[in-house]
Amino acid sequence: MRASLLLGDGTFVSGLAHGTPSERIAELVFNTAMSGYEEVLSDPSYAGQFVLFTASHIGNTGITEFDLESKIMAAEAFLCKDFSVIADNHRSRKGLETFLRDSGKCAVSGIDTRMLALKLRSLGCLKAILSTEDHDPESLRGKLEASGDISSKDLVSQMRSFSYHRPRMSGSQTEGLRFTSQFASAGRAKFRIVAIDCGMKRGIVDDLEACGLEVHCVGPNASLLEIEAIRPDGLFISNGPGCPKQLAGSTRILQLIRELSARMPAFGICLGHQLIALAYGGDTQKLSFGHHAVNHPVKSMVALAGIPAGTVMMTSQNHNYHVVEESISECFEVTHRHMNDSTVAGMMHRSKPVFSVQFHPECNPGPQDAKSLFGIFVNMLEEKRHAGQN
Amino acid sequence: MPVRTDIRKILVIGSGPIQIGQGCEFDYSGTQACLALKDLGFEVSLVNSNPATIMTDSSTAHRVYIEPLTVECLAEVLERERPDALLPTVGGQVALNLFLELEEQGHLARLGIRTLGVSSKTVILTEDRRAFRNLLEELGLEVIRGDVAHSAESAYEIANTLNYPLVVRTSFTLGGAGGGVVANPEQLAMLVDRVFKQNKNAQMVIEESIAGWKEYELEVMRDAAGTFVVVCGVENVNPMGVHTGDSITCAPCMTLTDREYQHLRNTAKQIFEKVGMETGGANIQFAVHPQTGRMIVVEMNPRVSRSSALVSKATGYPIARLAAQIAAGLTLAELKNEITQSTSAAFEPSIDYVVVKIPRWDFAKYKGASDELGVQMKSVGEVLAFGRTFRDAFQKAWRSLELGYEGWPDLGQTPEFLAALRAADPYARSTAEPLNKDTILNALGAPTPALFPALKSAMQCGFEIDELHERTGISHWFLSQLAQLVELEQRLAHPEFADSDLIKAKQDGFTQKGVAALSGLPVGEINLRTERLGLKPTFKMVDSCAGEFEAHTPYYYKTFEQQDENIPSSARKVVILGSGPNRIGQGVEFDYSCVHAVRAAQDAGYEVILINCNPETVSTDHLVSDKLFIEPLNCEDVIDILKSENPDGVFVQFGGQSPLKLAKNILDAGFKILGTPQEVIDLAEDRHAFGGFISRYGYKVPAWATGSGFGECLAKAESIGYPLLVRPSYVLGGRAMKIVRSESELKSSLAEAIDASQGHPILLDKYLERAIEFDVDLVCDGQDVYIPAVMEHIEEAGIHSGDSTSIIPYLKAPLHLDSPIRELCKGLALNLGVRGLLNVQLAYHEGELYVLEVNPRSSRSVPFVSKATAVPLAWLGARVALGAKLSDLLKTTNFTATTAPKYAVKAPVFPFHKFPGVSPNLGPEMRSIGEVMGTAPTAGEALAKAYIAAGWKLVPQGDILVLAESAQLEQMAEALGVMVHKLGCRVYCIEDCRQALAGLKTSLIELRQDDQVRSFALTAMRSGRMTMVISAGTQMSRKWRQLAAEIGALTTQCAVPFIESEFALDAWVMALRSRAGKEIQ
């Protein structure tokens, strides 16, 4: 089966199709991680996007299911150089081809992915159409042009229902791997938090729970009353797909963040970070081609939770938007900075327990250098409780 | 953190000669480190005994000591230099061991010298297997079950608690010498016996076997601020059980999920910190059980290594350079990624291609050595290939080996198979018959160099992946990739193959020639078809970041895709072809010349493009040339680059035989060969043409003839008379070259020579016995000839020049020969029409000078001559080839006189100790792997230093064992007398020698039985009092010859010199006397 791809700039390529025959329009982004395609494809933040993997071989380890970040394949489709015909890993439950079919999605391989990545690097993210039926560039161009602005789609509400709780790992799933977090608590949860789920990665829930938190998920449209009824100790705002301003415009989420973060510790990751910035009067902008990688260096600008200022971490990143530094409210301090382009990678309120990071401390995929940042949120919850008791 | 200001002067320890397990990767890392430290403003001195390195060039450091790497020499240098700090992490295990000894002996504390990059605590923790094991257990990590034995008894106790097969290793060794997989208690007993008899203090690790597990390596770095990065993960295609150096490996890791990969990363980070390593690069190896995922840490090397050189080339991340910079106090965050020049060096490279490394072995040189691969490394070199997929890179890597393959071969195409055929039928050339299943299964049974070819044959015979996995332990994923190649070949195997298959073939790394051979179509037809399909070679950048950022100092590899990223400049430019994988006869010496040629062409104003596929080398550091292509030195691959770049000319004279072989193809493709014209190269190789040249100008050569077939050779031999030197044409390192003394000897060596000759005629030369050989490397510009020095061989003519010890200035020959030799060489160069370098080999026999060989190219001895005389020969050669006049070059540059004020000796280094049972006899076929240099005011001391640097034990007052025929001893008696009377040696001999040595009187002890000889030899060697074993003469009885071979093999395990001629004996006597004198002082 053949698949053809037409980019917004007129670039046309075709290759070998895999999965379910389909035709889709989405934004094309590239990810440079060399491992973790299972996590990437199921990361709800990739909703509405075609993911181009720069790594040569995809599918080698099949799908373990345990490593999925949501119930489904969130990305619209993916592109790679070589699609593995077999899955070879002791934890693998099914092949990538089966996963694609089960998800009703497709992939294309055998194309010059590096050429496309270089194009995206210089032109920025491009809208694209991928089809397993239509191989006529002109006809595809017509469809692509007629599709209008895809960034206006309400991706978040689509995505949030896909969050899921991971099955317990069997013996063969865990052998050789240690998942226990340094914050793992025995017994009852210490704190109850509300997570505004905009398409939250499973790994975040895992890490929050591993810190001894009881996580209650609500949608971005949740009301204040609804949340208050849970009587949370803290607020978490998740990652998610699309433009933060779009989400802010279609929901009352900013007001929710403002009201709740005034009363309780708040922590945001990725989209959550952008929403906190917006809630406090900041601005976000689209990056040319985003950060989609697991090798981006982030520097700590201030000492936090025992990590000295100047510490450099290898981080997992996945975002097309960033918080404009000049726009950030005076009451925030930049705590982390991206070392390559100096964009804001983390910030903390100067007087309130509000903290957010643009990158993914839960990783999945990527290096686990930043896991300890969850501890900052826990410290905030502890301090708040301590202050309340006094 | 800024650069440290508390240190000003740093001493770097190099790694010494090339050995198995320690190739030229340490020239690469050492050079990078020295230059990086110099750039930071430090005063750098370095010690290394290997002259054939860029590292020992005077431009690399402020002061270069070419001295033996012994703790005594180092202590002397430290005393003199008084550096503030020592950097021992870029010279391999040799440098780390020396550092430990220096510290143990208190030299560092006494002189107040600090150590950069590593501490003795770290080295001991990672080297001492028990300590490392404890550390892993403290971290809660799984360890291999087993223990360390300190005696034979404890070895058996440990073995009783484990299941066979077991893995046995001894500590503190290089490339894992002295270990192995032990299948049963009997084998264990043999090994235990050997190890503890050799060394009472030996440590022996006995462990459960993790053979068959998946094997991974992470190359990691950490700076003083705690920034930790994994530069790259490498997955071994061979599972555990075969040394990484002997395994086919690939990057990135292929069969790990992210979760598992991050687990390895976290573990590596924990271990790095736990061993107390502050900064630098390290390599950590893991084994993962394929069914359960149980992960075990195998080992850690707290230094840059062969793998780090490979990973640096594979990713563009310069590990050694950064390791030196962060050892000097900088942090990764302060350093830029030199490829992008805009992003930080604190990152983990991402690659959008696959690299495959394949080792190269040279078992044919060590007859009798087992070619089974195990925990002890046996390969002598390696190649690295880049491709867009594993299949693409895998095919290219096989092509890069220069074994005549166009891609992955099947068993029928391998030399191993041909050798086996020949064993059955000495006149067999090859076979068209299909291989039988037993042959294939046999080759799959144990890992040897033929394993992957056998896998291909097995797949062609229809074996399923599951079964092949069962038999070999190779992961399904790799096997499925290989199966795709076999399936594609089957589709290509008839002339009407589909266009889509041709496209796939090109993307999977097949050459036009390869497709042509499969389909039975002529190459021209395949060319037409690829052209019609618009399939063109495209060059992709190696940019360290998978295209995410713009790259500025990139290098390239070829594949067949849509976008070509190579933008050829319009500058004047030359292409320099490198020397490919290291092998016996072609090693780092040629890379040295290539790097100098690059600099010369740059100095002459050219843009320089370099092509090479050897990841260990300095030439494949992308900072050396203006543009680098890591590609096979194969006709199609090279021509594709030339067509893309369209250079003004191509240099083929610096990389040894590999590029020379391509000269004709390059000319045919319409490109210019720089320097000496192709006709001259052909003239030098074509015996008849060269014979005509010689007689035209009245030079003398030994009587010679050429013959093509078996019968012709025998007839020609008869007319010249024995002894004869037999050799194939167009080979380097004297492959299949032999001295034969009778027709029966000729018969038994002809088949191999005919095979090595590949259709070219066989050369037969009269062998000049007991002649003195000279080696001259010169530069000629057509008008002038410049000869920096004349080298004299210590060994007689007939011993391969690469295996001879050479000395400058010469020692034995009469002084008045100097000017006739120079005149002769000058005449040869001018009359041949050489433009650039020329190597001439001469023999002085019964008052006459004979021309043995001329090589119009850079030779193996060029670096030694350059170091001995301080004349950059290769640089001069390249400048001249580009049109400069010697007279101008010599005027503007400031070279010292051609005769060195002191003696310089080059001694070869042999790998025999890695091949137990192989006798170290020297002959016309080269068997040495590396070289060292010793310089001193006297010849004796220069020889002594060179011998010590080469690893020999010098025992001036010890025992000498003589196993020779009396005729040979006449010439040796005097030297033996000197050793007995002046040094106090005792001579032990067999009965045959008694008469000839009667003059030694009471110091002569006769050994009557061969058992007596054997037991004496063992005791004397083990106790370290054996000065040498002398074995000479071919007419000895079979019994004594066999014994001599057996004892010869033993000497290689104990570093005892094995002397075969009076020439070598005289040199040893000089060296020993010099050392004895020194000790008395």
pLDDT in tens, B475-527: 999 999 999 999 999 999 989 999 999 999 999 999 999 999 999 999 999 99
Rounded to whole angstroms, how far apart are CA atoms B859 and B838? 8
Residues A30 and A124 in one domain: yes
Q: Are B582 and B18 in contact (CB under 8 A)?
A: yes
Evaluate whether residue A151 is within a structural domain.
no
Q: What percent helix, strand, coil does chain A show, rounded to 5?
A: 30, 30, 40
With CB atoms and an 8 Å threshold, state whether B348 touches A314. yes
- Cα–Cα distance, B910 to B927 (Å, whole number): 7
Provide the shortest C-alpha distance from residue A110 to chain B (in Å).
Answer: 9
String of DSSP letters for B596-607: HHHHHHHHTT-E
Task: List residues of A with catalytic annotation.
Answer: 270, 360, 362
**CATH of the domain spanning B389-535:** 1.10.1030.10
Tell me the nearest-neighbour CA distance from B92 into chain A, angstroms. 29
User: Is residue A173 in a domain?
Assistant: no
Interface contact flag, B263 A177, Cβ < 8 Å: yes
Q: Are residues A161 and A258 in the same domain?
A: yes
The torsion angles phi and psi of A13, rounded to 5 degrees, stand at: -135, 155
Same domain for A89 and A210?
no
Residues A269 and A225 in one domain: yes
A90 vs B: CB within 8 A: yes
Instruction: Look at residue B173 in the predicted model and tell me its pLDDT.
Output: 46
- The per-residue pLDDT for A305 is 79
Judged against a pLDDT cut of 50, whether residue B429 lies above it is answered with no
CB-side exposure of A104: number of CA atoms within 13 Å?
A: 4
* B166-170/B180-182 β-pairing: antiparallel
Quickly count: other Cβ atoms within 10 Å of residue B495's Cβ: 9
pLDDT at B754: 79
Please, are residues B673 and B663 in contact by the beta-carbon 8 Å criterion? yes
- Is residue B513 exposed (0-12), middle (13-18) or buried (19+ Cβ within 10 Å)? middle
CA distance B430 to B408: 18
The gap from C-alpha B523 to its chain's centroid, in whole angstroms, comes to 34
- On whether both A83 and A185 belong to a single domain, the answer is no
* Residues 6 or more apart in contact with residue B292 via CB below 8 angstroms: A90, A172, A175, A176
Assess whether A194 and A224 both reside in one domain. Answer: yes
Length of chain B: 1081
Could you give the CA distance from residue B697 to residue B825 in angstroms, rounded to a whole number?
12
- The answer to whether A238 faces chain B, any CB pair under 8 Å, is no
Q: Write out the two tokens for B1078.
A: 């020194």
Helix orientation angle between B129-138 and B258-274, rounded to the nearest 10 degrees: 120
Biggest CA-to-CA distance, chain B: 87
Residue B174 has a pLDDT of 39
B930, B50 Cβ separation under 8 angstroms: yes
Q: Residues B539-551: what's their mean pLDDT?
A: 95
Same domain, A104 and A212: no
Q: Between vectors from CA B832 to CA B829 and to CA B838, what angle results, nearest 5°? A: 40
Q: Which among B216, B220, B257 is the top mutation candidate for probing chain A, defined by the most A β-carbons within 10 Å of its own β-carbon?
A: B257
Report the pLDDT value the prediction gives residue B183, as an integer from 0 to 100: 85
What is the CATH code for B9-116? 3.40.50.20
In a domain, A326, yes or no: yes
In a domain, A174, yes or no: no
| Mean predicted lDDT score pLDDT of chain B | 91
Q: Scan for tokens 């350079």, then name that residue.
A: B321
Residues A199, A133 within the same domain = no
**Of residues B577, B732, B580, the one with CA closest to residue B652:** B577
Task: Return the pLDDT at A169.
Answer: 46
Report how far residue A236's alpha carbon sits from residue A268's, in angstroms, rounded to the nearest whole number: 6
Identify whether residues A78 and A222 lie together within a single domain. no
Beta bridge partners of B935: B904
Cα of A81 to nearest chain B Cα, Å: 8
Predicted pLDDT at B569: 95
- In chain B, residues with a C-beta closer than 8 Å to the C-beta of A180 are none
In a domain, A23, yes or no: yes
Q: For residue B367, what are the CA distances in angstroms to B377, B908, B918?
A: 17, 19, 7
The structure tokens listed for B502 are 């041709």
Contact A176 B289 (CB under 8 A): yes
Q: Please state which of the ranges B768-777, B837-846, B998-1007 shows the lowest mean pLDDT.
A: B998-1007
| Dist CA B753 CA B735 (whole Å) | 8
Could you tell me which CATH number the domain at B703-767 has?
3.30.1490.20
Whole-angstrom distance, CA of residue B177 vs CA of residue B914: 7
Q: How many domains is chain A built from? A: 2
Q: Strands A126-131 and A23-31: what pairing? A: antiparallel
Burial class (CB in 10 A: 0-12, 13-18, 19+), B653: buried
Contacts of B546 in chain A (CB under 8 A): 32, 54-55, 114, 117
Distance from CA of A233 to the nearest CA of B (A): 31
Does domain B145-208 bear CATH number 3.40.47.10?
A: no
Phi, psi of B804 (to 5 degrees): -85, 150
- Between the alpha carbon of residue B397 and those of residues A83, B65, B187, B791, the distances in Å are 22, 37, 36, 38
Tokens of B403: 């074994």
Q: What homologous superfamily is domain B675-700+768-901 in, according to CATH? A: ATP-grasp fold, B domain (3.30.470.20)
Entry pTM? 0.94
> How far is the C-alpha of A54 from the C-alpha of B255, rounded, in Å?
17
- Tell me the three state secondary structure of residue B929: coil
Q: How many CA atoms lie within 13 A of B147 on its CB side?
A: 14
Query: What does the pLDDT look like over B871-901, one tens digit per residue?
Result: 999 999 999 999 999 999 988 766 654 445 6
Query: Whose structure tokens read 């797949």?
Result: B459
Distance from C-alpha of B94 to C-alpha of B82, rounded to nearest angstrom: 21
Range of the domain at A284: 156-166+179-389
Closest CA to B401 of B414, B388, B417: B414
> What is the structure's pLDDT at B317?
95
Selecting from A61, A90, A121 the residue whose C-beta is nearest the C-beta of B291 gives: A90
Task: Provide the residue-wise pLDDT of chain A in tens; the chain has 390 residues.
Answer: 899 999 999 999 999 999 999 999 999 999 999 999 999 999 999 999 999 999 999 999 999 999 999 988 999 999 999 999 999 999 999 999 999 999 999 999 999 999 999 999 999 999 999 999 999 999 999 999 998 777 656 777 776 666 655 444 444 445 445 444 434 444 567 899 999 999 999 999 999 999 999 999 999 989 999 999 999 999 999 999 999 999 999 899 999 999 999 999 999 999 999 999 999 999 999 999 999 999 999 999 999 878 899 999 999 999 999 999 999 999 999 999 999 999 999 999 999 999 999 999 999 999 999 999 999 999 999 999 998 776
Give me the residue label for tokens 């400031």: B894
- Quick one: closest CA in A to B261, which residue? A35
* Nearest-neighbour CA in chain A from B409: distance (Å): 23
Q: Closest partner residue to A90 among B253, B293, B344, by Cβ?
A: B293
Which of left, alpha, beta for B226 (phi over 0: left; psi -120 to 50: alpha)? left
Query: What is the predicted pLDDT for the residue at B195?
Result: 78
Burial level of B371, CB count in 10 A (0-12/13-18/19+)?
middle
CATH number of A29's domain? 3.50.30.20
Q: Which CATH class is domain B908-1080?
A: alpha beta
Q: Which of B588-597, B849-858, B1002-1011 has the lowest mean pLDDT?
A: B1002-1011
Contact B352 A295 (CB under 8 A): no
Encode B786-795: b = buried (16+ Cβ within 10 Å), e = exposed. bbbbbbbbbb
Q: Is A108 contained in some domain?
A: yes
Structure tokens at A220: 């971005």
CB atoms within 10 A of CB B973: 17
A141 and A285 inside one domain:
no
Question: For residue B433, what pLDDT is reported?
Answer: 56
Question: What is the tens place of the pLDDT at every residue in B602-631?
Answer: 999 999 999 999 999 999 999 999 999 999
Closest residue in chain B to residue A369, using alpha carbons only: B266
What's the ipTM?
0.96
Instruction: Say what the pLDDT of residue B147 is.
Output: 87
The closest of B895, B906, B772, B786 to B838, measured between CA atoms, is: B786
In the structure encoding, which two tokens stand for residue A294, read together?
């697991």
* Cα B709 from Cα B761, distance rounded (Å): 8
Considering the domain boundaries, does residue A210 fall inside one?
A: yes
Chain B contacts in chain A segment 180-199 (CB below 8 A): none
Query: What is the tens place of the pLDDT at every residue in B21-32?
Result: 888 999 999 999
State the pLDDT at residue A124.
94
Residues A104 and A245 in one domain: no
Q: Which CATH number fits domain B214-349: 3.40.50.970, 3.40.640.10, 3.30.470.20, 3.40.50.9100?
A: 3.30.470.20
Question: B1: burial class by Cβ within 10 Å (0-12, 13-18, 19+)?
Answer: middle
Are the beta carbons of B484 and A57 separated by less than 8 Å? no
Arithmetic mean of pLDDT, B72-90: 96
Does residue B50 contact residue B950 with C-beta atoms inside 8 Å? Answer: no
Average pLDDT over residues B91-118: 95
Among A254, A8, A307, A323, CA closest to A150: A8
Six token digits for residue B767 = 């062998």
Report chain B residues whose CB lies below 8 A from the CB of A115: 561-563
Tell me the domain boundaries of chain B: 9-116, 145-208, 214-349, 389-535, 539-674, 675-700+768-901, 703-767, 908-1080
Q: Are residue A365 and residue A253 in the same domain, yes or no? A: yes
Which residue is it, tokens 């599951």? B466
Chain A residues with CB-CB distance to B292 below 8 A: 90, 172, 175-176
Q: Is residue A172 part of a domain?
A: no
Check if B539-674 and B703-767 are the same fold.
no
Residues B829, B833, B838, B840, Cα dihedral to 10°: -40
pLDDT of residue B432: 47
CATH code (residue A267): 3.40.50.880
pLDDT tens-digit series, residues B313-335: 999 999 999 999 999 999 999 99
Question: Whose CA is closest to B977, among B1073, B1074, B1079, B1075?
Answer: B1073
